[in-house]
Amino acid sequence: DEVLLMASFALKAAKLMPKQLFVVRLHPVLSRTFVEKMLEDLGKIPKNFQLSEYKLVDDLNRSNWICYRGSTVVIESIIKGLRPIFLNLSQNVKNNDPLPESLRFRKVVDQEQMLIELISNDKQYLSKNNNDLQECVKFGKQYIMPFDSKKIIDKLSVNGP
């Protein structure tokens, strides 16, 4: 249901903004073939819409925005400098958004036209030196702590087997 909801939204947005590429990443447990068959029911697929065939890191490196619904992939995305845009399609932002409302760089949209306007305005606004972006990146880096095997080894060495 979530894939159909998001893909339908992305398709409509792609038709409204034909010069902007819209990429949908599938959850790893979903069958690409199944999703492609679902998309056939939504009508003609524009050339600026695609299902990703790349690794996550590659998609993040080639993107400026991430539209999400409750996925923690948004944390990795903001660390890479992408603008997080919560798709509030069920009016459930308070229950499903893993990002706090206090992050000014995070945006919420509930209609395709709102997304198009945001992207159009952002093309002039996005900058790696943006203070709101830096606040978002800091949040992401504090949220995801890198694995430090040295700490585990030190702890095991002190306490013994």
Residue whose pair of structure tokens reads 């206090």 in the numeric block: 102
Over its length of 161 residues, how does the chain's per-residue pLDDT go in tens digits? Answer: 788 889 999 999 999 999 999 999 998 888 899 999 989 888 899 999 999 999 999 999 999 999 999 888 999 999 999 999 999 988 877 778 889 999 999 999 999 999 999 999 887 666 666 888 889 999 999 888 666 777 777 777 776 55
Phi, psi dihedrals of residue 23, rounded to the nearest 5°: -120, 130
pLDDT of residue 63: 93
pLDDT of residue 41: 86
Query: What's residue 52's pLDDT?
Result: 94
Length of the chain: 161
The CA distances from residue 78 to 66, 105, 148, in Å, are 9, 9, 22
Query: Cβ atoms within 10 A of the Cβ of 102, count?
Result: 8
What is the Cβ-side half-sphere exposure of residue 35, based on CA atoms within 13 angstroms? 20
For residue 124, the model assigns a pLDDT of 64
Strands annotated E in 2-151:
22-24, 49-51, 65-68, 83-87, 107-109
Tell me, what's the pLDDT at 90? 85
